[in-house]
Chains A and B, each alone.
Chain A
Amino acid sequence: MESIKVLIVDDEPGMRLGTQRVLKKHKIDVDIESEYQGLELIIDLAESGEEAREKILADKPDIMILDHKLPGIQGVDLLDELKTDKTDIHTIMVTAYASIEVAISATKRGAFDFLAKPFTPDELKHTFNKAVKHLVLKWKADKLAEEKKQIRFEFISVLAHELKSPLAAVEGYLRIIDKRMAGDELSGYDKMIKRSMTRLEGMRKMIFDILDLTRIESGKMKRELKQVDIIEVLKDSIDSVSPDADQRGIHIHLNREEPLFIDGDQTELEIISNNFMTNGVKYNKDNGSLNINLKEADDFIIIDFIDTGIGMTEENKNRLFGEFVRIKSDETKNITGSGLGLSIVKKLVGFYNGSVEVKTVLGEGSVFSVKLKKGDNNG
């Protein structure tokens, strides 16, 4: 993309060469990003519409400066042809007189802009710059769209894999149960049934997580901003993880009782709180602890989730917020999860001008610090 191909089509040799000379000396100067600075111009010439057509077929130019009045096929007719072929050439139509009708009909037929003869070098440069700028913007948009498509494709492939794994597991177990392959003892099948239920539960959670994620991304999630007491939200999360925590002797402590209000959406704050709370229990050690410490700093609330769990390496820490990322180790292999929790949290925290910071030591524990703005969170 470091060059722009230009085709000048004019039957008058003087016009052709004059235009070429101006453009050759011209330094492209449009206000564009550095990756598109210093674009080189590759200029080609054609004497007639027929010759232009041939050259376009052989090597499509990015910008064409096209004379309206040509001996054989006319400029506008060439435009029509190009339009039906959907070639996206930025055409600057050159008209012999400042006729507004010709200009209008040319733009209708797909010309990007027009120049009235006779024109000064500055007029030419100005119009040409406009075309270049437009072209570069289009390149950028195309590139972004392409990247987005790629990311979406990758997301869907990973998703398909993630959903297929539990299906394969459950199907495998069911076939064994169906054929009574594990012998006549009924108890031999209990574990398979338990495992199947666990896998289905994981699958259900993943589907709900994906729905959350896509709703957040598409902006379709209705936000209802009001004053929410974050302490209440945290306490509810604690209640929902308590059965698991109690069973494993994990002690949870919240350092503040009096209400602390934040301008936010109840559901969003619940999702954020629940994710850190469940992680703090799931990835903790038996008889460990999870401390939730709240601080206020200027317009922000900082919530620290401090656990005495398995921690992780620096390398893994940096991957954490990616979609479907789960850290595989002996400690985590029996813990279910979709690896979407933190990517959802990251998106939501963005609504609160916030951030998440992680400090962690493998084998010792982690601190997840969430920073949320107290007010004005509707952008």
Chain B
Amino acid sequence: MDKKILLVDDDYDVREYMRVILETKNYKTLQAENIRDAEGIIKNENIDLIILDVMMEKDSDGFTFAQKIKSDDKYKSIPIIMVTSVNEKTGFKFDKDSDGAFLPVDAFIEKPVNAEKILTEIDKLIN
């Protein structure tokens, strides 16, 4: 069965091009433009992986959402890839080893997203 990936980003076009990238590997994508919708989808569907944008309506939305998922026994096994765009602004790169403790996600990907990179990352996490 095809794996299901949830895309959370408030920008329609970002979700759209991510969907095209994911479909090249036959992943099924579900989309949410805000945290509320994302929570609904997680409840009703068996999601295999979440791709989450850090910067949404409020600066901390992505962070809070990741923390919530990872502290919920029902969902904490779902891998999360966090998409960030901090690097270009601050020169500060997120890293799983150093930031994993306060930011419980499984991988970080820089925006603009490189298709090969994200596909490799997904492959590592769910196959």
Interface residue ranges, A against B (CB under 8 Å): 160-161, 164-165, 168-173, 175-176, 179, 181-182, 192, 195, 199, 328, 333-334
Contact = CB atoms under 8 A, between A and B. Distances in A.
Contact of A173 (B10, B17, B33, B114): B17
Given A179-B115, A328-B57, A333-B33, A172 B85 contact: no
A172 B12 contact: no
Contact of A181 (B10, B11, B24, B33): B24
A192 to B, nearest CB: 7
Q: Which of B14, B24, B112 has the most CB of A within 10 A?
A: B112
Nearest to A333: B12
B30 interface: no
B16 A171 contact: no
8 contacts: A171-B112, A173-B17, A175-B112, A175-B115, A192-B16, A195-B13, A328-B10, A328-B57
Q: Which of A165, A173, A179, A182 has the most CB of B within 10 A?
A: A165
Given A168-B85, A169-B11, A181 B21 contact: yes
A172 B20 CA distance: 10
B96 interface: no
B13 A161 contact: no
A176 B21 contact: yes
B113 interface: yes
B44 to A, nearest CB: 19
Nearest to B16: A195
Interface string B14-49: 101110110010000000010000000000000000
A327 to B, nearest CB: 12
Q: How large is the interface on B (under 10, 10 to 19, 20 to 34, 35 or more residues)?
A: 20 to 34
B116 to A, nearest CB: 9
Contact of A172 (B10, B17, B33, B57): B17
Given A168-B14, A172-B14, A173-B13, A182 B20 contact: yes
Contacts of A172: 13-14, 17-18, 112-113
Contacts of A179: 115
A168 B11 contact: yes
B123 to A, nearest CB: 16
Nearest to B85: A164
B125 interface: no
A192 B20 CA distance: 10
Q: Which of A175, A195, A199, A333 has the most CB of B within 10 A?
A: A175
Given A168-B111, A171-B112, A181-B115, A199 B20 contact: no
A179 B12 CA distance: 21
Nearest to A173: B17
B89 to A, nearest CB: 8
B103 interface: no
A29 to B, nearest CB: 46
